[in-house]
Amino acid sequence: MKDRPAQQTVSTLPAAALVVSNMIGIGIFTSLGFQVAAFTRADGSSLLTTGVFPIMMLWLVGGGLALCGALCYAELATALPRSGGEYNFLSRIYHPAVGFCTGLTSTTIGFAAPIAVSAVFFGDYFCRAFPACAHLLPHMSNVLALTLVSFATLAHLRSIRFSGGVQETTTAITILLILTFACSGFAKASPQPVSFLPHGGDGPLILSTAFGSSLIWVMYSYSGWNAASYIAGEVRDPGKSLPRALILGTIFVVFLYAAITAAFLYTTPLARLSGQPEVADLAGGYIFGPTGARVGNALICVGLVANVSAMMWIGSRVSQAIGSNYRILSGLARTTSRGVPYVALIVQFLITAVLALGDPAKIVTYVESVLFFWSLLAVVGVIVLRVREPNLPRPYCTFGYPLTPIAFACIALVCLVQTCLRHPVETTEGALTVLIGLPIYWIASRTGETSSLGGPLPDQIL
């Protein structure tokens, strides 16, 4: 099928919904227990003797860093308005080889592995929410995971406008359920003896290594704030719509995360939360009674539907962008009459399906540090591009520049070092994945490029 121009049908609302749904994954429902455990002494006693203000500050600091990243990406996405996210940014700012490596990572497992993980978790939590379904077929959770990925792929194959509608609907349901869960927690449950106000002893805890190590979990939960930049070529009036989507979507998720975390802490004893990944299960039992765990599991399922849909959408756009530049990969850029990159979506589905049948969690561990590194390079690229191309039209300029990118870069670097120290084998494997991309780039560039990396792609003229 002949390539056709991308249709700029995505407005601010579905783009913001994409940001929200891509951020709300499994992290917010599972990471609180590990944060509480980080503030627990060896004898089992808690360091949070004066209240849970340090825990809440974790989510506010993490949200502030995510917002810094969103502000930087808003400038990059409007100054370099093509779909593809970091592939587009890093190709232009540093070198096409750098962009190719990040694009190749995203095209293969960068999105497929997180999609597979979310889909497998969806199957697992669906069986917990509806136990009768668990015994219908062998490996029912895997069957449900493949079913979800299949439906998400079919939905996005229909049209870009339909993708936006699906994203708006699933995100709206997710938001409604999270707010209902949080409000019910404060209205129905018996409160725990915790204080959310700051106290004199909180300062040392916020400056402690426990706070720093817990921030890694929080930043993982906030990952996805850059989602709208991946579909820049499909957004109407990107100079205005993209910054609004990135910034408003991120701010709204910070509010949602603060609300649901406060509800978890308000309803569930810290001793029960410590080290437990099933936070929504525990809190649901305290809020809704014996059936509460099933309510919490159903909430997670809905959130994961929106999360999988969002990653399917933006992941295929990275493949489309890299295929538009390199003749050897040009098949990935082929679109339907409605501008949908059907080959990229199908390839992504096949890779995801294979990973969903196994244990993709280990793959995500090693690829996470690589993706974090790409985000760090992109944010630093705001400064590089300002210095090198001061006259480049910038419909949006980063608020608080240069402090905003510097703050993000410093904290991101600390988190990246922590990840490398905690998972040296996985990060080494991730680095090797990046290096493998270099000879592939050399071959791809020798076969010819279909367009200049410095100019607009033929199917994404703005």
Please indicate, yes or no, if residue 453 is contained in any of the structural domains.
no
**What's the CA gap between 159 and 313, in Å, rounded?**
11
Please indicate, yes or no, if residue 107 is contained in any of the structural domains.
yes
Highest mean pLDDT pick, 75-79, 134-138, 221-225 = 75-79
Render pLDDT for 57-68 as a digit per residue (tens, 0 to 9).
Answer: 999 999 999 999
Please indicate, yes or no, if residue 170 is contained in any of the structural domains.
yes
Evaluate if residue 461 carries a pLDDT over 70. no
Please indicate, yes or no, if residue 454 is contained in any of the structural domains.
no
pLDDT for res 209: 79
Please indicate, yes or no, if residue 461 is contained in any of the structural domains.
no
Please indicate, yes or no, if residue 151 is contained in any of the structural domains.
yes
Evaluate if residue 171 carries a pLDDT over 80. yes
Question: What domain count does the chain have?
Answer: 1
- Domain span at residue 123 reads 12-446
More confident residue, 414 or 334: 334
Would you say how long the chain is, in residues?
Answer: 462
The phi, psi pair for 391, rounded to 5°, reads -95, 5
Q: In this structure, what CATH number is given to the domain that contains residue 259?
A: 1.20.1740.10
**What's the CA gap between 17 and 361, in Å, rounded?**
26
Evaluate if residue 203 carries a pLDDT over 80. yes
Please indicate, yes or no, if residue 432 is contained in any of the structural domains.
yes
As a whole number, mean pLDDT of residues 116-123 equals 87
pLDDT for res 374: 87
Handedness of CA 114, 70, 32, 168 (dihedral sign): negative
As a whole number, mean pLDDT of residues 19-47 equals 83
Is residue 315 within 8 Å of 111, Cβ to Cβ?
yes
As a whole number, mean pLDDT of residues 396-407 equals 93
C-alpha of 348 from chain center = 17
Evaluate if residue 17 carries a pLDDT over 60. yes
Evaluate if residue 450 carries a pLDDT over 60. no
Please indicate, yes or no, if residue 457 is contained in any of the structural domains.
no
As a whole number, mean pLDDT of residues 345-350 equals 92
- Low-confidence winner among 239-253, 266-280, 411-425 (lowest mean pLDDT): 411-425
**What's the CA gap between 68 and 254, in Å, rounded?**
12
The string over 256-279, giving b where at least 16 C-beta atoms fall within 10 Å of a residue's C-beta and e elsewhere, is bbbbbbbbbbbbbebebbbebebb
Average pLDDT over the chain reads 83
